[in-house]
């Protein structure tokens, strides 16, 4: 089973690469129009040091922004989940905030905190990724059976105890589902700031450099590196999900 879980994604990636290569070959696109997978290894070999340095810059900022989004999203979800009044008050604000394209927020943040490159990048990663976490926790808590709450309250349990003993285990499947989405959103936020704000750090800045110099193999190499980092972080979340919420998995009947 574990071998299949490794081989199937790898096979899908290989097939995707072959289709991409054949598409470029069939259309006769030069590398300054559309780079092919075979164009990427030379780009990695030429700029490997930049990929290591800037890849690490992107990764740690994304992870910090995601961790902050988890903390804030869980707290906000708890507030909305346990209070219908707060849920009715905050949901429209959250939906409206999430509807604003974050690409329009990036220049504002960059102007507000001039020179704070790390803070700006982490802030955008946080702002773009906390919403699904907050909503999933809120829904999980608001749909908690009232009988559980009544029994625990009659035994003198506080809201915090109810959360840790009953609500949190119940919301874990929804939480990890939202966290898988938040991982990709956090990378989007990080790279938006790296591309729009010219501070020369992270893979977004490397992508922008490739665009400026019309180095399409470098640009596509950055995109693939970002995709691989996203996949890596996604599987970290999957591993955590198996540890903390593995009980929620249903084994399909044969």
pTM check: above 0.75: yes
Q: Is residue 116 part of a domain?
A: yes
What CATH number corresponds to the domain at position 74? 1.10.3720.10
Distance CA 81, CA 148 (A): 15
DSSP assignment of 127-160: HHHHHHHHHHHHHHHHTS-HHHHHHHHHTT--HH
Domain count, the chain: 1
Q: Is residue 226 part of a domain?
A: yes
Q: Is residue 233 part of a domain?
A: yes
Q: Is residue 30 part of a domain?
A: no
Tell me what pLDDT residue 72 has: 94
Q: Is residue 97 part of a domain?
A: yes
Q: Is residue 14 part of a domain?
A: no
Quick count: other Cβ atoms within 10 Å of Cβ 140? Answer: 21
Q: Is residue 58 part of a domain?
A: yes
How many angstroms separate the Cα of 18 from the Cα of each of 11, 28, 64, 79, 227?
A: 11, 15, 35, 49, 17
User: If you search the block for the tokens 């926790």, which residue do you land on?
Assistant: 137
Distance CA 68, CA 214 (A): 36
Q: Residue 86: helix, strand or coil by DSSP?
A: helix
Residue 182 · residue 74 · CB < 8 Å: no
**pLDDT tens digits, the chain, 254 residues: what are they?**
567 777 888 888 889 989 988 998 988 888 777 888 888 899 999 999 999 999 999 999 999 999 999 999 989 988 888 788 888 898 889 889 888 888 888 888 888 887 788 898 999 999 999 999 998 888 877 776 677 667 767 777 776 777 777 777 778 888 888 999 999 999 988 988 888 876 678 898 899 888 888 888 899 999 999 999 998 999 899 888 888 877 666 544 44
Q: Is residue 223 part of a domain?
A: yes
Range of the domain at 156: 50-247
């Amino acid at each position: 089973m574990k071998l299949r879980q490794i081989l199937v994604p790898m096979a899908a990636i290989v097939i995707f690469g072959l289709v991409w290569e054949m598409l470029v070959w069939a259309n006769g696109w030069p590398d300054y129009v559309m780079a092919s997978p075979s164009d990427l290894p030379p780009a990695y070999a030429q700029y490997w040091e930049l990929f290591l340095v800037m890849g690490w810059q992107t990764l740690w900022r994304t992870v910090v922004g995601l961790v902050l989004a988890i903390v804030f999203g869980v707290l906000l979800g708890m507030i909305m989940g346990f209070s219908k009044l707060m849920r009715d008050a905050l949901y429209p604000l959250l939906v409206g905030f999430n509807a604003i394209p974050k690409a329009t927020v990036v220049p504002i943040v960059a102007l507000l905190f001039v020179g704070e490159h790390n803070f700006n990048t982490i802030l955008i990663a946080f702002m773009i990724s906390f919403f699904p976490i907050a909503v999933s926790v809120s829904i999980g808590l608001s749909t908690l059976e009232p009988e559980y709450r009544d029994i625990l309250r009659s035994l003198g349990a506080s809201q915090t105890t109810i959360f840790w003993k009953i609500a949190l285990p119940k919301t874990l499947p929804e939480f990890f589902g939202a966290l898988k989405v938040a991982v990709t959103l956090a990378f989007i936020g990080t790279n938006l700031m790296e591309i729009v704000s010219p501070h020369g750090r992270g893979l977004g800045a490397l992508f922008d450099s490739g665009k400026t110099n019309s180095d399409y193999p470098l640009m596509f190499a950055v995109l693939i590196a970002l995709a691989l980092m996203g996949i890596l972080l996604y599987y970290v979340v999957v591993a955590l999900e198996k540890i903390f919420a593995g009980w929620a998995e249903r084994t399909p009947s044969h």
